[in-house]
Structure 1
Amino acid sequence: MIQRFIELGEGYSDLYELLEIAKANQHRLQHFMAFHTNKEDRDVTSLAIVLSPTNPGDFQPLYICREGIPNPHTTPNKRFDLFAKTAKSQQKDIMELTVKPSSQFAEKELYFQHLIGILRMNRYIPPMK
């Protein structure tokens, strides 16, 4: 199985694309995720959705808007509210995790592999085959 993050942006206008992907793929939608972190002395959140793997192909996409939204627990904001409203309309809870910021990794791909490891360890996504 191939599990890969697909970055849409930082959560400004691309957040609407993330929500449309969730609505258009209701039959494959597994999780709504919020990754909280502190980056450059700012509390920020990455929002993501996890779809079930394709059949055939075993490709599992994880769409993400990376570290551009204020953490809703410290700074309430409309973008997170919209994400939460969409999750509720899909009868899904938002899985919230606190993670290291991407700036602590030499490459963005290493950061995404780190997140995939966390998601596998917590059994939000299946292990490698």
Structure 2
Amino acid sequence: MKVIQRFIELGEGFADIYELIELTRANQHRLSHLIAFHTEIKGRQVTSIALVLTPSGDGKFQPIYISREGIPHPEHQPSQRYALFQNVADELGKTIIQMDVKPSILFPEIDLYYQHLIAILRLNHYIAPLQ
């Protein structure tokens, strides 16, 4: 059975982060990982935060919700948006996986960037390998 793993992009504002937090709480029974992807864009250290859920009931779709590259890197500049993400991780007893990745601007299409991230997640065994 082939599992489709797909990024679902939310925005980077507070409303989007609150939505990501609510998705995390509402789906805690499917919560697989919380991930912070760190990168540098034009001299700025930024972070994407992501929620990885286990495949849905029929097992054929695995969503990865992401707020892409809009949050300051938490080690360089404190951010209330990242603090909200950390708070939900603490609340649910999860550790945020920290990863340094290439920025999306290096890819000609956003889909290629997400394929790159999926490959990294597969290689690190955070999501199932390609079947």
TM-score (norm 2): 0.96
Measure, in 2, the Cα distance between the counterparts of 1:125 and 1:95: 13
- Per-residue deviation at 1:55? 2.1
Partner of 1:51: 53
**Residue matched to 2:26:** 24
Q: 2:103 aligns with which of 89, 101, 104?
A: 101
Q: Alignment identity in percent?
A: 56
Q: Out of 67, 72, 91, which is 1:89 matched to?
A: 91
The one-letter code matched in structure 1 to 2:30 is: R
The equivalent of 2:10 in structure 1 is 8
1:67-100 deviation per Cα after TM superposition (whole angstroms, max 9, x unaligned) = 0000001111111111001011111100000000
The TM-score with structure 1 as length reference comes to: 0.97
Counterpart Cα distance in 2 of 1:99 and 1:66: 12
Structure 1: which amino acid aligns with 2:44? R
Which of residues 66, 73, 76 is equivalent to 2:75?
Answer: 73
C-alpha deviation, 1:118, in angstroms: 0.2
Matching residue's letter, 2:36? A
Specify every segment of 5 or more residues in structure 1 that has no aligned partner in the other structure, as ranges.
none
- Residue 115 of structure 1 corresponds to which residue in structure 2? 117
Q: Distance in 2 between matches of 1:44 and 1:63?
A: 17
CA RMSD of aligned residues (A): 0.9
